[in-house]
Chains A and B, each alone.
Chain A
Amino acid sequence: MKWLAIAAATIGLLLVPVLFGDRFVFVFIQMLTASLFALAFNLLWRHTRLLSFGHAAHFGAGMFATIHLMRLAEANVLAVPLPLIPLGGALAACLLGVVAGYFATVRTGTYFAMITLAVAELIYALGSQWEALFGGEAGLSSMRLPWAGWTFATTGEVYYIVLGWVVPAAAALYFVGLTPLGRLAFAIGDDETRVRFLGYNAHRAKTMVFALSAFHAGLAGGLLALVNENVNYGAFGGTVSASVVLHTFIGGSGVFLGPVIGAAGLTLLGALLSDVTRLWLLYVGAAFVLMMLYSPEGLAALFIANLRLWRELPWPSLVRLNLLGGLAVLAFVCTTVFVVELAARALTEGASATAVVLFGTTWSLSSPVTWAIPIALALAGHVALKAAIRQRRRLEDAVA
């Protein structure tokens, strides 16, 4: 069953450029790189319990190193096949990871998070000043050179480079979790002092895990740079660091593939909805808050718990649970859309905004009814969700 799923996913991923047009293939590339980035971030969090608020530093380092290498190749200084160039980005990020990780992992918890945040902000500030290295506001550009009969002119061809790196890199990250260092990282996340009294240098182990995480984050960045053929210092920005945190936690940090669900899912939704709303980040933020409030384990954990119930119980007994859960999600989605869109309109357009068209109806901004509806929806969602949680607990007790 497991292998069947893996085979189906592999075939599906291989067929993407055949089945979809360029615009969508590009979305898939973004989904893949965001997934690898989130997996790299979660290597650090899930195992070692180190929460990095500045992982954009490594993602961006990978992007810039890749662009620089591409420019060198373009200037005939360097003869490296294009598909191998992102590896250079990964190595540069790894180097930065060794240095930043060495200092950051002296501390844990909040202090660690603050150091990573500071490092990323420092590089961001440098990015806007140091034109020679980061290209200023416009950033740096390059182009993909052909190699071995491949022109890499189409998004489809580049997609295969990305896929060819992301899948093995994800597998490598999974494997790391099984190795002595990976198990040690788990132990450090649980009790660092204990680890030291078993004869381990915990700081060294944490630095190594940090560097590995930075390597994969840099690879993800390098691949995106290869696709975009352009990068500017915004790659080091806070939104990049924040998005990987949101992706990981919405997807579920406790399960290996959880971050992939979050990163791929949110990237896809963002691309699909970019024509409909300009406020996508607000939606992601709202989803994060709701997730942390009601199901802090994330989507993957919810999915696994539900799957277990489906396996153990006859399906009619699960109808009620899934109906309640579905209703709650629907109510929360509607509430969020309502509040975000109406509030944004009211705030940006001020007094000139009088009515908004939403869900096929015109809503007056001054009418109390318009604002009462999201409140009622939120309450209904809350009640339905609480009922669903109660029902789930009952069913889980029945299974146990």
Chain B
Amino acid sequence: MSQATTAVQKEQHSEHHQELSFLYKYILPLDHKIIGMQYIFTGLIMAVIGGYFAYAFRMQLAFPGEIVPLYGLVGPGEYNMLVTNHGTIMIFWVAMPVLIAGFGNYIIPLMIGCDDMVFPRLNRLSYQIFLASALVLILSFFVKGGGFGGAWTAYPPLSSVAEYSLTDWGSSLWLLAVALEFVSFLLGGINFITTTMNSRAPGMKMMDIPIAVWFIVIAVILFMASVGPLIAGAVMLFMDQRIGTSFFLPSGGGDPLLWQHLFWFFGHPEVYVVLLPTMGIVADIITVFARKKLFGYRTVLYTAFATGGLSFVVWAHHQFIAGIDPRMANVFVVTTVLISIPLAEMMFCYIATLYGGSIQFTTPMLWGLGFLAAFLIGGVTGIYLGASAIDVYFHDSYFVIAHFHYTFFPITIIGMFAALTYWFPKMFGRMMNETLGKIHFWGTFIPFNCLFLPLFLLGLAGQNRRVYNFLNYPDLARQELHDLRVFATMSLVVMLLFQFVFIYNFFVSMFFGKKAPNNPWEANSLEWSIPSPPPHGNFKTLPSVYRGPYEYSVPGRESDYWPQNEPPKK
């Protein structure tokens, strides 16, 4: 029986190796590398939209009522729409497609040594549904009434009744886009887990899998286990909006708090769903550029399991002032503070990896270190917010905004740049310009801090989120507070301008950069043993794996790295 299967697969495979037309190679590909790049490029385009929205509403906050250059006038309803969709886009259409779907697709088969995902057609379908979801979301900005403005958490009844939200079709299309996006990642997730479990190169044991792959897989497992309730909630909200049910409407016997539970049951694991891929990618980057073995491979892995498990029992810390039982709030305070222990441990392992290493400050390494530094601030401020006694005062203030931007910005943007600069030679076969890369790093990292540190102060001063003009409030209109707002907005503009350096570097290097060798960073994992860019089918011959991915500077060896597929000397 297995012989018959093999024969058929062989036949399918030879079919696979024909020269493909442009349409099948780039528009309807089955190759995981092209699908990964489709995800990454779609995510980058969506990031531009998300950044543009951020620019528009930050300008409104700094210069209320004035015409924003390149945008126009931002009214109150439009402000809400911009804020809502900025959040939605950055989390669901940038962080997830780029870090999980994009890099997951690109690196998982390369790092575990196989030719493609196990379900290539499912993979292609997953991208197509994702593209459809992005188009539906963009469409929602242009329907009558404009895009949805009820915040990315979409709390009912604001999100379920058109008379309240004033965006009848905008909110339905927004919900449809989010639901489609989940279906897309569901299909992708099945692929990632199955591929990693079943298609590893011979000799690659569970503990030889690079942390980047492990963490993407753990993230996907979290996603798969938590997304069901939100899909159920989305269906219910959609029915409330369109066919007159009242699941979340108290007037009809429903319960608005139910949506918050369903949303945050997904929403909090989601934080770790986007965090873990970046954490994993950074683990790979810092070991390569510190030329040192990862400190505590197993510890890092187990802390990720612990984080994942705990992330399912912390969701109500988003609802401390939503009217939940204070005794229940205490339980969630404990679990929330508890979850910082495995993450802190992971952080210490990373710092211990750096300690005593021969660190090379290449661009990817700068991004990796930048991630650790910035995420540390995000993590530590989270402990304050996790305690209900403090959160009652900080809730919905700019302190919260500053906190989660100190987590999400490092995860999404810094992590994305770390991964892009690290795998760029493999993806496009050319090296990026290091000088421009470093200019871009500092031009992003310094303004990022100048942008969000003032928001902590504004939050402590009592500035509420989701207000479109603070000058209407005498307490918040004080000059010293407004100066901070203007400073933050100016920092954002500077940061956005520096992104042009990256765009220039990216496209010029893609076509005219120095040719990249197979292994420019002298790294161990399998993707560096094949040509850059990898050919269709990846590995000419099936690699065999002899050791873990982090054998750097092993005593007694001439070179300071030891590729996973290099046979041991007899």
Q: Do A and B share a complex?
A: no
| Interface residues in chain A, defined as those with a beta carbon under 8 Å from any beta carbon in chain B | none
| Interface residues in chain B, defined as those with a beta carbon under 8 Å from any beta carbon in chain A | none
